[in-house]
Amino acid sequence: MSFAVRIDGQEGHEPPRPGQCLRTYLRERGCTGVKKGCDTGDCGACTVHVDGLAVHSCLYPAHRADGRTVTTAGGLAGDGGRPHPVQEAFARARAYQCGYCTPGFVMTAAALSPEQLADLSQSLKGNLCRCTGYRPIGEAVRAAHTRHGDSPAPPPVPADPAAPSVVTGAARFCLDHPEPAGLLHVALVHSPHRHARVLDIDTAAARAVPGVRAVLTHRDAPRTRFSTALHENTDDDPADTRVLDDVVRHAGQRVAAVVADSPATAARASRLVRVTYRVLPAVTDPEQALRPDAVRVHELGNVAGEFHGTVGDTGRGLAEADIVHEDTFRTQRVQHTAMECHASRAWAEPDGRLHLRCATQAPHLVRRRLCEVFGLDPGRLRATAGRLGGSFGRGQDVQTEDIALLAALRTGSAVQLENTRTEELTATTTRHPFHVRVTLGARRDGTLTAIKLRIVCDTGAYGNHGPSVLQVACTEAFAHYRCPNVTVDGYCVRTHNVPAGAFRGYGAGQLTFAVESALDELAHRLRLDPLTIRERAYLRPGEQAAFPGTAGRHPVMDTGLGRCLETLGRARARRLRTRPEHSGPRRLIGEGLAVATLYTVPADGHIAQAAVTLRADGHYELTTAVPEFGSGTATVLRRIAAQALRTAPDRVHLTGADTELLDHHSGGFGSTGIVLTGQAVAQACRALARQRDDPTPASGRPTAGSGRTSADTACRGEPPLPPLPSAHTGGHPAGTRLRAVATVSADDAVPCLAFSAQWFRVEVAPDTGLVRILDSVHVADAGTVMDAAQCRGQIEGAVVQGVGTALREELPTDAEGRITTTGLRTYLVPHFGEVPPTEVHLLRPRDQDEPAMPKPMSELPFNSVAAALANAVRDAAGVRFTTLPLRPDAVWAALGTGDT
């Protein structure tokens, strides 16, 4: 039977496999602009044109493309290779961060009719973006179509060298690299029980399926216990996890891995694996798991970490208070929902070494951890990461890497494991749910006399990241308030729930929701303006933040928070003078605000290394091992390098994240990607500039050197220097190759405090419980902003993710502890039409004593959103919500009963 399809201008005749969808057919033909984000037509990452019509190619049977013309983002460019106007507009407006959703958005936008253009809320509903907050996407789409009418284009934002590849779909994410020969695929078997012992696994039927190469169980896996969490300091996380275990501790835990010629064969065979379990008693409530008689989740015990700290005398502080407010707050289990699912690929290189390509934020730590688990010499394993399709912390755990490596070692073949969206939602790490008991004491004027916190965080079945998340939560959320008496007692508890892990905010968001909500309630009871109580309470410049239980690490406040509150107050007053555009006569209108602080201290022992090489062509090659995952690290590091080298950013080229290229780097997460790695980059580049500018000819001394420069802070406060003339190489003849390396560690880091403040005006519909955002202002103290477009995008994206967490995202479980949300259709990531623009203010560094350096904005803007929204709902409806999310059914019920 003949088959013909025209793909991006090329005629093809190879028929698809039976049942194959168009997305897979196109990706197998190298169309990297066709992304996989789900299999259900919910995310739009796979959007292509079929005869000019935009379709979700994951739902489109490939055989129906017979006789048709298919265009992907890679083939959208016009004659002469000039990008399509929509692609140009996306690049000019920086309408992307990680860029994983971008080709799909481009294809949808390029096919819009004038009628569809007039209603982008509906027209772009089928494409999800987890990073940008949608504002720049809308601007790009409108600009692209306006330009057809000869209206002037908006001014471009500073160029990102990755833009052309992102908007055309050529940027390479984890699985976009050419497949190694003979690639096999893994499908996982997951436990349906939350606690059980595996008595037997019958793999015969699965192994009998043609194309199946192996079925791996705990008998094939190393017995070594490890933590999936990736930290430089291995003491941070308990070693309590096995690659495949004979005890399951949560529903969804991996029990077996089927390796086969194709994903479909592996999936079909995985359903034939028969596992016999002895079901055991389970505990899923963290408060119950704390009891001495509770079912033990793990031999190591149920408490994975504790934190206790005291400043002053809280009992006395409460006795001296004119008013005491106490409440308990609960946050829910949510998922990162990056548009790219976790994936890894392992294969042998021609020299016999193993290559592991994975969606990680820390390639060196993945290599180290897996070499320990599998007993490999580090020299035998190379780990690389491409661009990550969003992270939000998900890349700081071993998620699929261990199984891919196990399968490659056991089969001797190249192997790939790519999670399905259902696996992402039901069996990978989540945010830690928290219970927080807050007790605040205050005088009538709002002066805080006591803060008392009891925190229980549910780390799920394993302790990865749990103790560190608890520590961040126990210190940062209130560090900016003056209070002489503080007591914090925190417990990180194992339960038979799906494990939590690193997630944007790292515990601070949960605590900020609790503390900022309680403070707001205190303000209501004292009849104080919520801004006033915060203005009176925040620490002034020069005062030391009180971090109970963290001796010697008490940062000194600067002017950031005060200026955030000033700016927020002005914007709020201006906004409140306007009438809100509410959607109906019976709507309840209210406003609320909250603040958040981030202490930019890296994890203990964190190491950041950077190398820079002056190439023969006068350009520079910068190596950092920090993959780009949408936080803008790549552009900021290039600019730091360019400044130190006194050259233009487009002369600095960033290499990929690859363990071959640097001795060691602990990865890019938390505040380390920009702050610590930025210091290493600045030092390496300054060292290279000194070599370059040395008038001594290169002959007679090494032309390629490696210097371990000591950490210093000279880069802080330096004004930008003028760029050198092009191809400036000092006294060195053309062709000389100079290299400098710098390493800084957490001990060398200059920590600082970053601040943000968020304000919302909302309407609440009493008849439906729906909360709608009418107005939104975000103020951020981001230090020296190296890339305003990227920074603003980070903040807007964080606010939208915070809105999703506050209003509706959650992962409910059934009676057996199984997560019942299995797809994006029911997980409800905010989409284009639901998110109003946020007015973003970036404070300029003002005082000379403030560090002239960028402060990270990946996490901080998320942290205050849920509290600010809950405070606005309290103002509107008179009901204090203490449990997230504020779903319409919960709000509706509470408005009727007053029960939150």
- Which residues sit at the interface with ligand FES, rule CB under 6 A? 96-102, 129-132, 339, 390, 630
We find the least distance from the C-beta atom of residue 37 to ligand FES, in angstroms, to be 8
Q: Which is nearer to ligand FES, 613 or 801 (CB)?
A: 801
Q: Which is nearer to ligand FES, 131 or 539 (CB)?
A: 131
We find the least distance from the C-beta atom of residue 630 to ligand FES, in angstroms, to be 5
Cα 91 from Cα 82, distance rounded (Å): 13
User: Residue 232: CB partners within 8 Å, gap ≥ 6?
Assistant: 365, 603, 604, 605, 606, 607, 666, 746
Q: Which is nearer to ligand FES, 374 or 862 (CB)?
A: 862
We find the least distance from the C-beta atom of residue 637 to ligand FES, in angstroms, to be 19
Q: Which residues pair with 309 in a beta bridge?
A: 488
Cα 245 from Cα 260, distance rounded (Å): 22
Q: Which is nearer to ligand FES, 96 or 759 (CB)?
A: 96
Quickly tell me which residue has 């700081």 as its tokens: 396
Q: Token digits for 761?
A: 């005006």
584 CB neighbour count, 10 Å cutoff: 9
We find the least distance from the C-beta atom of residue 42 to ligand FES, in angstroms, to be 13
Cα 528 from Cα 248, distance rounded (Å): 52
Burial 312-336, CB ≥16 within 10 A → b, else e = bebeebbebbeebbebebbbbbbbb
We find the least distance from the C-beta atom of residue 337 to ligand FES, in angstroms, to be 9
Q: Which is nearer to ligand FES, 102 or 191 (CB)?
A: 102
Are the C-beta atoms of 791 and 857 separated by less than 8 Å? Answer: yes
We find the least distance from the C-beta atom of residue 797 to ligand FES, in angstroms, to be 8
**End-to-end Cα separation, the chain, in angstroms:** 63
Q: Which is nearer to ligand FES, 138 or 467 (CB)?
A: 138
Cα 887 from Cα 678, distance rounded (Å): 41
Q: Token digits for 897?
A: 């009963």
Cα 724 from Cα 733, distance rounded (Å): 16
Q: Which is nearer to ligand FES, 36 or 646 (CB)?
A: 36
We find the least distance from the C-beta atom of residue 814 to ligand FES, in angstroms, to be 30
We find the least distance from the C-beta atom of residue 100 to ligand FES, in angstroms, to be 5
| Angle 854-859-860 from CA coordinates, rounded to 5° | 75
Short-list 186, 237, 506, CA closest to 369: 237
Quickly tell me which residue has 């996982």 as its tokens: 188
We find the least distance from the C-beta atom of residue 99 to ligand FES, in angstroms, to be 5
- 365's enclosing H/E stretch is helix 363-374
Q: Which is nearer to ligand FES, 88 or 558 (CB)?
A: 88
We find the least distance from the C-beta atom of residue 801 to ligand FES, in angstroms, to be 11
Are the C-beta atoms of 388 and 358 separated by less than 8 Å? Answer: no
Instruction: Compute the CA torsion angle 508, 626, 666, 478 (nearest 10 deg).
Output: -10
Max distance between CA atoms of the chain, in angstroms, equals 87
Ramachandran sector of residue 508 (left: φ over 0; alpha: ψ -120 to 50; beta: rest): alpha
Q: How far is CA 71 from CA 23, 252, 821, 833, in A?
A: 12, 38, 33, 26
Q: Which is nearer to ligand FES, 45 or 662 (CB)?
A: 45
Q: Which is nearer to ligand FES, 100 or 503 (CB)?
A: 100
Are the C-beta atoms of 527 and 450 separated by less than 8 Å? Answer: no
We find the least distance from the C-beta atom of residue 167 to ligand FES, in angstroms, to be 11
We find the least distance from the C-beta atom of residue 96 to ligand FES, in angstroms, to be 4
Q: Which is nearer to ligand FES, 449 or 631 (CB)?
A: 631
Are the C-beta atoms of 769 and 776 separated by less than 8 Å? Answer: no
Quickly tell me which residue has 């939150």 as its tokens: 900
Q: Which is nearer to ligand FES, 101 or 346 (CB)?
A: 101
Strands of 323-433 (E only): list them. Answer: 323-330, 343-348, 354-358, 381-385, 415-418
Are the C-beta atoms of 717 and 851 separated by less than 8 Å? Answer: yes
Q: Which is nearer to ligand FES, 174 or 255 (CB)?
A: 174
Q: Which is nearer to ligand FES, 44 or 856 (CB)?
A: 44
Are the C-beta atoms of 626 and 677 separated by less than 8 Å? Answer: yes
